Structure 1
Amino acid sequence: MNTDCALCGLPLTSMDTLLGENKLSDGGVLCNKCLNKATNIDKDLVSDLASYSLLQIRDIVLHGSIEEEEPVETDIPNLRVATEVSQPIQTGYTTETPNRLDEIKGQIASLNANLSIFVNSEVKELVNVLEKDEKIIAIAEGKYLYNNLEGILVSTQNRIVFVDKKFFGGVSENEFPHYKITSMQHSNGMLSSELKLFTDGPKAEFKLYNRNAAKTFYDAIQANIYSSQNQERVEKEISQVKDIEKPQQTPVKKEDPSVIFDKLEKLGKLRESGILTDEEFTEQKKKLLDKL
């Protein structure tokens, strides 16, 4: 039985479920607050809510929340009241340097990503997740099927990260370095698509809330994936060659000190008798001392 609102995630009350009219076609249930918000945008929902899925309701709320308000006509002649849109003040003297969040939002905008207002907190969290030199090359909204958490799937030039900003605080973060991904697959349905990442360990599966999102994500990162794989393979081969070329050092066999001292004494006598030169004596002495 559903105990939380499918849209906002807040616990359902007895008033929300009393009449049983807040249920969606995919089994989700809306609280009265979310239902009122949706029906204020689309009046048809009042009589036909059971035929709508959660994805359709989210699209209705999203599109309804970003529509511009129409100017309000008044009874006073020549007076027209309209919603003012604030614009940044520009001067000819200084230009403010964009911060990291502005850079991230700019990268997302350049990708024409179809993200909803429900992942605004995850987008802001990318400031703490990504390194300063990381650039977003792909992004999509969806669910990580391993833990059923909803958030954003992001790829930079080096890795893929799934980020979920939990409702009551905290962040869930799953990382997949490009060089560890052996292959990828994507497929699409009527309203959503799926992306699968295969690694040396378990595969990672994601349901993305747009029927073209998985293919777009796949196309954007596949070149980086294969480049990282080739670089990793080359580095391993170079490392193996270096290991082979390293000179193998034979460990010096240790001997009993008393035996070494006897041999040193004999060496000294051989030098005194002129049988060994000073250079030969020094060389042999060093070899004996190394065996101590």
Structure 2
Amino acid sequence: MSTECSLCGTPLTSMDTLLGENKLSDGGILCNKCLNKTTNINKDLVSDLGNYNITQIRNMLLNEGLEQELAIETEQFQTIQIAHPRIVETPSQSIQFTYTPDEPSRLDEIKDQIVATGAKLSLLVNSEVEELANVLDKDEKLIAIAEGKYLHNNLDGIVVSTERRIIFVDKKFFGGVFENEFPLHKVSSVQHDTSLMSSTLKVYTPGFTAEFKLYIKSAAKNFFDAIQDYIGRPEDQIQAKIQQQQTIQPPPIHPVSEQKEDSAVIFEQLEKLGKLREMGVLTEEEFAEQKKKLLAKL
């Protein structure tokens, strides 16, 4: 009999197993906390849980996370300021972000890079995301990430790629980290495929093929598209490409000041404000206040 929750990995208590109503079709058992979480998503599970397995339960949570991706609980934050984006973790079903002017940490930089990839991650891999600050070198830039299962050992975690290597990371509940990497210059090819509910990514290296089942249908293709220019390149070519990208200067950021500014800059800022409002980052009141300040500078 299982002694840990099949979803979160916490040790089961007598209250979790007393009535036997938390048991799944594959023999797994949910703790009461995870049971409440799943039944809040699908009320039918209250009487029909035994007909579902852990994969179906996980997919329900992942799908719920996609629907709530931009649902930021603003009461937990102070007034939002327009500055450099930083990711924060909220109780909703996916990784969220807000804006803060603080000096970024290495983890902040990595989370910014995750946002730039457009990847969809659930709160189930928050610990793996945090572990990336210890896994990636300071000069490594994350270019692809996905949540899924490493079929070689059936571990659940995240598969990420930088410009130099593909890495699978699983943060175990009771401590310890499983990490496996595949240098891109040794990768001969990468294949991707999709199914009804998920997708598959295969990484071919001499003598070994690493296969990953990704929990989002489009994840494998998006991952492949991000890394295809680096696959099989010699190390010196990869390094030259990295250095070339680092020499490209980002566009200048026009700060909002109390001085009169060029009208083109003001309208650019107004357009950004509108996008932040559409994404739900700014409330209508915050949008109106910032808009008023910008229009006063014309």
Task: Name the TM-score, length of structure 2 as normaliser.
Answer: 0.64
What secondary structure sits across from 1:172 in the alignment? strand
Choose from 134, 140, 149 the match for 1:134: 140
Match of 2:185 in 1: 179
The within-5 A match list for 1:155-174 is 155-174=161-180
Counterpart of 1:207, as a letter, is: K
Name the CA distance, whole Å, in 2 between partners of 1:100 and 1:178. Answer: 23
Q: Percent identity?
A: 64
Name the CA distance, whole Å, in 2 between partners of 1:126 and 1:216. Answer: 20
- 1:139 to partner: Cα distance: 0.2
* Cα deviations by residue, 1:47-96 (Å, 9 ceiling, x for unpaired): 2223444344335456379969x9xxxxxxxxxxx97241367599x953
Match of 1:201 in 2: 207
Aligned residues: 219
- 1:17 to partner: Cα distance: 4.3
Match of 2:111 in 1: 105
Contact map agreement 1:180 1:229 (CA 8 A) in 2: no
Structure 2, unpaired ranges of 5+:
84-99, 239-298
Match of 1:86 in 2: 77
Match of 2:227 in 1: 221
The within-5 A match list for 1:249-264 is none
Structure with the bigger RCO (C-alpha within 8 Å, sep 6+) is: 2
Counterpart of 1:125, as a letter, is: E
Match of 2:160 in 1: 154
Kindly tell me: are residues 189 and 26 of structure 1, through their superposed partners in 2, closer, same or farther at Cα, counting changes over 3 Å? farther
- 1:163 to partner: Cα distance: 0.9
Name the CA distance, whole Å, in 2 between partners of 1:24 and 1:228. Answer: 48
Name the CA distance, whole Å, in 2 between partners of 1:189 and 1:25. Answer: 22
Kindly tell me: are residues 88 and 168 of structure 1, through their superposed partners in 2, closer, same or farther at Cα, counting changes over 3 Å? farther
Structure 1, unpaired ranges of 5+:
71-81, 233-292
What secondary structure sits across from 1:84 in the alignment? helix
Name the CA distance, whole Å, in 1 between partners of 2:54 and 2:82. Answer: 46
Name the CA distance, whole Å, in 2 between partners of 1:104 and 1:11. Answer: 31
Task: Name the TM-score, length of structure 1 as normaliser.
Answer: 0.65
Name the CA distance, whole Å, in 2 between partners of 1:91 and 1:17. Answer: 49
Match of 2:217 in 1: 211
Contact map agreement 1:23 1:49 (CA 8 A) in 2: yes
Name the CA distance, whole Å, in 1 between partners of 2:101 and 2:234. Answer: 38
What secondary structure sits across from 1:103 in the alignment? helix
* Structure showing greater Rg: 1
Contact map agreement 2:65 2:122 (CA 8 A) in 1: no
Name the CA distance, whole Å, in 2 between partners of 1:3 and 1:207. Answer: 26
